[in-house]
Amino acid sequence: MEFVFDPKKKMDDFASRFDPDQRRRTNSINLFSPSKINLFLRVTAKRPDGYHDLASLFHVIDLGDRLKFTLGPGRKDALTSNARWVPLGKDNLVIKALDVFRAKTGIPQYFWIHLDKKVPTGAGLGGGSGNAATALWAANELTGRPASNAQLLEWSADIGSDVPVFFSRGAAYCTGRGEIVEDIQPPPVPLDTPMVLIKPRASCKTPAVFKKFSLERASSADPRELLRSITEHGIRQEFCVNDLEEPAFEVLPSLKRLKERISSGGRGKYSAVFMSGSGSTIVGVGDPEPPQFIYDEERYQDVFTEAAYFLTREEDEWYRPSRAMEAGYGAAESRSDLEVDVPTEGPLGTSFFERPESSRIQF
């Protein structure tokens, strides 16, 4: 006699015990998990709770990860990843997001999740925040949409300041800690505007950057005026103010030199060169290719570079990768295993990636 274990049937049988309609719904979903950039970032005040008030134009971009969610039969989430530095327990924002979803809805559903990582960590691109937002969306879809988009946005603020923006339509003016999200419709910039993302191996830890920040050194630019200027005139250097650049450059002086090299080496092909978030990604807007020195100089051979475009979503749908990103997805797979803990100063030419021998799973 031969016994065959069918995990899909097992999960369906388990789910049907507490949800008779479960069989009529899918038990898994595969989603694109995008990242973001800050076209400008003003730090406007210090809050009593120790955080800072921000005013920023966020825009979702088509550099992203892949997440597959499957209804799990147990009482614990199980997470695997292609990147061995990714934490697989409660330190991962995906698990935190699923815990928030269960706490808010009272639905005792757990999941098996696989994360195919492509967005570098410590980059100022919100890759982990995008994963958390995607997890909230997936859990809501797989349990019959018990929550509205507005509720998901509200709950996402409990996870992290960069998570709520992903529940906008893709372009948003965010204030408070980032949890006050004002959709910008139509998007303030053309979606086909090309950009290049350039991130050195070294990362800027956000607490270290804010430790160097002082309000006295911040820009006096009116964030609403910056938003109006970008909407009317496009992305220009003078509009892409980031109050965290100078503190980040103090934490990581080589990042300042890299930005200066990109600005001069671009020979005018970028309309703006700026740091996203708290770093350490430098964004060049206007061309998808990095300057030639990135290719020519050995010390930059392992710097992460990626072409990207702006991304939006339909109101009742999640983000989908652009056709260009879809066609190239996996082409940069060798770049997906960025290390988390790296020196804050030193050579830029250290190898980013070590491919894991196998995925890991934690039960």
Q: How confident is the model over 202-257, as pLDDT tens digits?
A: 998 999 999 999 999 999 999 999 999 999 999 999 999 999 999 999 999 999 99
> What pLDDT sits at residue 301?
87
- The one catalytic residue in 36, 96, 117, 118 is 36
Residue keyed to tokens 């060049």: 284
Q: Identify whether the C-beta of residue 14 lies closer than 8 Å to the C-beta of residue 57.
A: no
Positions of the chain with pLDDT lower than 70, given as ranges = 1-25, 323-363
Residue keyed to tokens 């910008």: 184
DSSP 213: -
Is domain 7-325 given the CATH code 3.90.78.10 in the classification?
no
> 110-116 and 171-176: which strand pairing?
unpaired
Closest C-alpha among 321, 308, 322, 359 to residue 337: 359
Q: Where are the domains of the chain?
A: 7-325
d(CA 297, CA 279): 22
Closest C-alpha among 288, 234, 286, 291 to residue 259: 291
d(CA 227, CA 219): 15
d(CA 273, CA 14): 53
d(CA 19, CA 26): 13
Distance of CA 298 to the CA centre of its chain: 28
> What pLDDT sits at residue 42?
98
Active site residue 222: no
> What pLDDT sits at residue 50?
81
Read off the pLDDT of residues 97-117 as tens digits, 9 standing for 90 and up. 999 999 999 999 999 999 999
The pair of structure tokens assigned to 272 is 């703006």
- Tell me: cis bond preceding 280? Omega within 30 of 0 counts: yes
Distance of CA 307 to the CA centre of its chain: 15
The pair of structure tokens assigned to 168 is 């906008």
Side chain identity at 295, as an amino acid letter? Answer: Y
> Can you list the alpha helix ranges (DSSP code H) found in the chain?
7-18, 93-105, 127-142, 149-156, 206-212, 223-233, 245-251, 253-265, 292-296, 323-328
Q: How many CB atoms lie within 10 A of CB 356?
A: 15
Backbone angles phi, psi at 91, to 5 degrees: -75, -15
The C-alpha angle with vertex 127 and arms to 122 and 132, in degrees rounded to 5, equals 125
Residue keyed to tokens 């060169």: 273
- The one catalytic residue in 162, 199, 243, 259 is 162
Active site residue 162: yes
d(CA 139, CA 162): 19
Q: CB within 8 A of 13, min separation 6: which ones?
A: none
pTM value?
A: 0.84
Which residue spans within the chain are E strands per DSSP? Answer: 28-46, 52-72, 78-81, 110-116, 171-176, 180-183, 195-199, 272-275, 282-285, 304-308
Q: How many CB atoms lie within 10 A of CB 145?
A: 12
